[in-house]
Amino acid sequence: MKDQLIQSHPNIMMGKPVVAGTRITVELILEKLGAGETVEQILEAHPRLTRPAILAAIEFAAQALRADVVYPVLEQAA
């Protein structure tokens, strides 16, 4: 991981991966990006974040998904 920008500790955000030194979760960053927010908007909303931290969060998520686990995608009811 890039200079340990992403950390996880059981006493911080229930062990979810966070940007080091913050309580900003990788999950939150991905949700914001998935909702269409830009990196610039996220940085503006969270001044303690940096561009390298956002990129580290994305890299962390990509590495996590490389595990040999099946993630079923459920269809939404119409």
Our count of domains for the chain comes to: 1
Q: Is residue 49 part of a domain?
A: yes
Dihedral angle over CA of 24, 59, 39, 41, nearest 10: -20
CATH number of residue 37's parent domain? 1.10.10.10
Residue 1 pLDDT class (50, 70, 90 cuts): very low
- For 62, the enclosing helix (H) or strand (E) is helix 51-65
> Cα separation of 78 and 75, whole Å?
9
Q: Is residue 72 part of a domain?
A: no
Would you say residue 3 has pLDDT above 70? no
Q: Is residue 58 part of a domain?
A: yes
> Cα separation of 3 and 50, whole Å?
13
pTM, two decimal places: 0.82
Number of other CB atoms surrounding residue 50 within 10 Å: 13
Domain carrying residue 29:
2-65
